[in-house]
A and B are shown apart, each in its own frame.
Chain A
């Protein structure tokens, strides 16, 4: 087992999901509640990583980060080095790549919060921002957890984007999926099998936790309704 790749992967997935929480909450709020008529365009952009080949996404991210682009030059002048083929660059790419996995469940949860609770909060003198944290998020925690865990799990398994943007630098940008690819290239099938099995099991366990968790939430609500009926 390549523990260095395990560490890199975990670090990347954690950083990505934490940043996605920070970006994903406001973006999801906007997607769920904006009445802008062109909103669907933004929704389509957010969903693009679901359908685009990771290499295409990675290619554009690479261009945007590169010294030819104003964004890339600006980062380089601030940080002293470019984004491509660094861990930071990988995090940026992963955030974009996993964005729909965070935004879609969270926005769906926000959107299903009954509007009367939001209006009730306003009518009790509570601001929009405070209503977000005191009414909308608490009633959407299953969706928020799902978004957090799915973006973590999705980042664990990414390959194309990582390869395009991060390259294959041991200890910096070589993640588990790339490690598996390398092992297969070297005909080290037993090593590839071990790492693959581990990714498979970890992903399965994480997804089971998410779905079980959502189901328990559902049971809890049904249980409460049942008590009300009695």
Chain B
């Protein structure tokens, strides 16, 4: 392992954060995921040496790091708003931490395609350019581990998508392991090989991002990764690979997780729920629940439709669908979703 971090940090009268991280040698990036206030940034700052541990230890390549100052740790820390020095030009910013500047600056500037920006001031750069310059500054010191704190949150939505794929490409090309803090599941899926989900100062689940998203092991993880509907349900019977659950006053079918448990959290992603006016005759979807529309609210490019189908179910549909189906409060509708779209988390977990 390159990094073994067992972090225990208590703030006076504040939150208590406990997290263990293992970062293997080699170029993999680990996503530290969770809602704001989960303690992700604190974990990153502890690894960087910007915060002192209350207990626990950090081993880097076999070396104990507890009393090593931040300056002596071979890390590349990308700050949330990039923290480019406003009083220095791009060239001096990139060369700030290195002794033999010229060739190093030229080299990383070429690698990050910021050559033509070298004589500008940071305030003259766009958000995406600032990020590349900040990365160049970090890479000039040839760090052995990158720590990226919400690398995309300072950007507006339009540039974010573009910069995200650029960053993903770059991270894969660099060959340096990275820890990326984010609360955005698109970031997690795009940038991560491994994912550590935190909530309220604890690590809840670790695994490849796709697995975490499709198979959250905790209710909090499901909520944190943006599963819109998380409700309690109880298995009534099992038949032909399906589990039939009672949820509220409704019944629905889910793929049988094959466990003895009967009490589960039922997780359904809003994108997986279709809303229809009448009962569809021909459909492979197992679940057709009748109900009424409780609320209709815009959610980005989609519209969030809250349904009462015996329990509260949230569907994400296009605006066109809202118009076509005349979805307004009180409308009678059917909610349709496949059994495989229902993910079950045992309550005992």
Contacts and interface: CB of A to CB of B under 8 A. Distances in A.
A198 to B, nearest CB: 38
B50 interface: yes
Given A116-B79, A117-B83, A122 B71 contact: yes
B85 A135 contact: yes
Nearest to B95: A124
A185 interface: no
Nearest to B79: A116
Nearest to B80: A116
A228 B87 contact: no
Interface string B53-70: 000000000000000011
Contacts, number: 60
A138 interface: yes
Contacts of B70: 119, 122-123
A116 B81 contact: yes
B123 A227 contact: yes
Of the candidates B97, B121, B125, the one having the most CB atoms from chain A within 10 angstroms of its own CB is: B97
Contacts of B69: 122
B343 interface: no
Interface in B209-239: none
Interface in B68-91: 69-72, 75-77, 79-81, 83, 85-87
Nearest to A114: B83
A120 interface: yes
Interface string A88-126: 000000000000000000000000001011011111111
A4 interface: no
Given A116-B81, A120-B77, A228-B124, A139 B50 contact: no
A116 B84 CA distance: 9
Interface in A121-136: 121-127, 134-135
Contacts of A116: 79-81, 83
Contacts of B86: 117, 139, 224
Interface residues on chain B, size class: 20 to 34
Contacts of A117: 83, 85-86
B141 interface: yes
A225 interface: yes
A205 B108 CA distance: 49
Contacts of B81: 116
B83 A120 contact: yes
Interface residues on chain A, size class: 20 to 34
B311 interface: no
B79 A119 contact: yes
B153 to A, nearest CB: 14
Nearest to B137: A124
A126 B85 CA distance: 14
Nearest to A229: B123
A114 B124 CA distance: 19
A122 B76 CA distance: 11
Contacts of A224: 86, 121, 123-124
Contacts of B185: none
Interface of B: 48, 50, 69-72, 75-77, 79-81, 83, 85-87, 96-97, 121, 123-125, 137-138, 141
14 contacts: A116-B83, A122-B50, A123-B48, A123-B76, A124-B138, A125-B71, A126-B96, A126-B97, A127-B71, A135-B85, A138-B87, A224-B121, A224-B124, A228-B125
Interface of A: 114, 116-117, 119-127, 134-135, 138-139, 224-225, 227-228
Instruction: Give the 10 A-B residue pairs with the shortest CB-CB distance, closest first.
Output: A124-B97, A120-B83, A123-B77, A224-B123, A116-B83, A122-B70, A138-B87, A228-B123, A125-B97, A125-B71
Given A123-B138, A124-B96, A124-B97, 15 more contacts: A116-B79, A116-B83, A117-B85, A119-B70, A120-B77, A121-B85, A121-B96, A122-B71, A123-B71, A126-B96, A126-B97, A139-B87, A224-B86, A224-B124, A228-B125
